[in-house]
């Protein structure tokens, strides 16, 4: 092959993407963040007119991203330069938004160094007029005059189906805008500025068909007191509450959610009003419950919570949850409908809880384990079971782990598959795989797979 032919092949391979039809290149741009898509078009004459084509063909599928956080470093940029960048950024957003005839998804993240809330309101209204259904809004400001003027269109419109909010307003958390979201089905709130009263009494009742609610790091009162928390909603199906231990004590929680099927909770054990029947409808529950100084109180609260979930089909317990359960003297309820159990423990005490759960779960078919390296010599014993699938994560190949897996493979008489994720370097991983494959199995149908 001549040098000229080799260069021709090299150039052809390097420029292969640009030879695609415009419609295919426009679809490639669709999957890039807005700013990266525009920059890509500016770097090549071949791509220069493809962004408008992408808007025309796929504008309703593109997630429009506005993020001013990486434009200016306040410590390195003078006030004059900041104004120039501010105006340039505003012009970019205005021009690009105006080019979309249909906007379905918008992600808007802003710091108070650049765009004001008046512009934020303008951009959101622009998107709503073009049929916006999915909004991810992250606002950060400590200025009182900005905190008093939250974009009202976010909380009162007839198009949004999914809303994600991350609002850090400093100490200005008592401001509750008027809420009317008749089409909203999914609401995700991070670092919430709503206190319990604002969320439960003002926001949720004005989202009449809400099906999914996720609350991350819900703040309490400024004085540190924990106010009651009452969620009442007839159509809510999935609820996630992650306090991330930002509260100093348990929170009294009451629910009126007859349609709830999934509950994901992280934080100190809640004080539940178990006269409410919200737990009866649950199909799936995930618990990451932590303890505080008053250990006995928390273990008692946790036992009441988990025993109220006796109808679930899927149950996930963190290592912290297992430890609290071990400390409880209260008898564990029977999980007569439980089909899948995900269990994690990084303590020997936590692993002592697993046999109690297995005994009380006669229909269990799928068992997922993590932290098996913390198990002790006596291991985990099981009685009669219907286990069909066993998944093990972070398997390190210790003697105790191999002994426990050997026991599982022999006692789980109808096991169909065991899947193992090995936590080791490549050389040791091959050795561990060899040891696992050599273990005897009671079930002739059992297959061993590696994740």
Same domain, 36 and 151: no
pLDDT tens figures, 14-44: 556 777 887 788 777 777 777 677 677 766 7
298 in a structural domain: no
Same domain, 191 and 76: yes
352 in a structural domain: no
Which structure tokens are listed for 201? 């009494």
Number of separate domains in the chain: 2
pLDDT of residue 379: 74
Tell me how far apart the alpha carbons of residues 367 and 81 are, in angstroms, rounded to a whole number. 59
390 in a structural domain: no
Q: What 3-state DSSP class applies to 334? A: coil
Q: Domain boundary at 188, 219, 250, which?
A: 219
pLDDT tens figures, 148-161: 566 788 889 999 99
Least confident of 10-19, 176-185, 247-256, 342-351: 10-19
The 10 Å Cβ neighbour count of residue 82 is: 16
272 in a structural domain: no
The secondary element (H helix, E strand) that includes residue 256 is: strand 252-256
pLDDT of residue 118: 75
Q: What 3-state DSSP class applies to 354? A: helix
Same domain, 77 and 201: yes
Same domain, 157 and 185: yes
Q: Domain boundary at 192, 219, 246, which?
A: 219
pLDDT of residue 12: 47
Same domain, 181 and 35: no
The secondary element (H helix, E strand) that includes residue 231 is: strand 229-232
The 10 Å Cβ neighbour count of residue 437 is: 9
Least confident of 212-226, 381-395, 428-442: 212-226
153 in a structural domain: yes
pLDDT exceeds 90 at position 209: yes
Answer for the pair 375, 350: CB distance below 8 angstroms, yes or no. no
Domain that holds residue 139: 59-219
Q: Domain boundary at 219, 246, 273, which?
A: 219
pLDDT of residue 123: 85
Same domain, 43 and 109: no
127 in a structural domain: yes
Cα–Cα nearest to 136, from 163, 156, 172: 163
Same domain, 84 and 215: yes
């Amino acid at each position: 092959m001549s040098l000229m032919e080799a260069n021709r092949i090299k150039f052809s391979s390097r420029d292969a993407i640009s030879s695609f039809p415009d419609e295919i290149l426009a679809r490639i741009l669709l999957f890039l963040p807005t700013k990266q898509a525009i920059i890509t078009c500016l770097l090549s004459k071949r791509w220069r007119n493809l962004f408008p084509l992408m808007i025309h063909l796929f504008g309703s599928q593109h997630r429009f991203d506005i993020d001013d956080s990486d434009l200016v470093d306040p410590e390195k940029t003078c006030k004059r330069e900041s104004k120039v960048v501010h105006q340039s950024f505003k012009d970019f957003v205005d021009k690009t938004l105006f080019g979309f005839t249909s906007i379905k998804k918008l992600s808007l993240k802003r710091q108070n160094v650049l765009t004001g809330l008046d512009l934020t309101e303008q951009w959101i209204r622009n998107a709503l007029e073009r049929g916006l259904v999915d909004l991810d809004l992250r606002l950060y400001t400590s200025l009182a005059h900005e905190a008093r003027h939250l974009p009202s269109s976010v909380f009162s419109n007839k198009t949004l189906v999914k809303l994600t909010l991350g609002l850090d307003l400093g100490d200005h958390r008592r401001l509750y805008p008027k809420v009317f979201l008749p089409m909203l089905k999914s609401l995700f709130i991070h670092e919430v500025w709503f206190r319990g009263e604002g969320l439960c009494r003002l926001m949720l009742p004005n989202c009449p068909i809400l099906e999914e609610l996720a609350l991350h790091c819900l703040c309490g009162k400024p004085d540190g007191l924990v106010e009651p928390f009452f969620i009442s909603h007839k159509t809510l199906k999935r609820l996630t509450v992650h306090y991330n231990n930002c509260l100093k004590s348990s929170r009294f929680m009451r629910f009126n959610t007859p349609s709830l099927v999934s509950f994901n909770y992280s934080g100190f054990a809640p004080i539940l009003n178990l006269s409410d029947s919200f737990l009866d409808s649950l199909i799936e529950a995930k618990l990451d419950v932590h303890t505080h100084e008053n250990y006995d109180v928390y273990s008692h609260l946790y036992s009441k919570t988990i025993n109220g979930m006796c109808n679930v089909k899927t149950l996930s317990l963190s290592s912290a949850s297992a430890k609290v359960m071990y400390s409880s003297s209260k008898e564990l309820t029977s999980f007569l409908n439980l089909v899948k159990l995900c269990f994690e423990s990084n303590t020997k005490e936590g692993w002592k809880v697993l046999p109690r759960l297995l005994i009380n779960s006669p229909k269990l078919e799928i068992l997922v384990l993590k932290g098996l390296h913390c198990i002790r010599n006596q291991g985990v014993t099981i009685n009669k079971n219907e286990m069909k699938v066993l998944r093990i994560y972070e398997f390190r190949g210790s003697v105790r782990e191999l002994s426990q897996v050997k026991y599982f493979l022999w006692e789980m008489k109808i096991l169909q598959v065991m899947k193992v994720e090995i936590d080791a370097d490549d050389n040791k991983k091959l050795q561990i795989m060899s040891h696992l494959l050599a273990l005897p199995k009671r079930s002739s149908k059992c297959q061993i797979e590696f994740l």
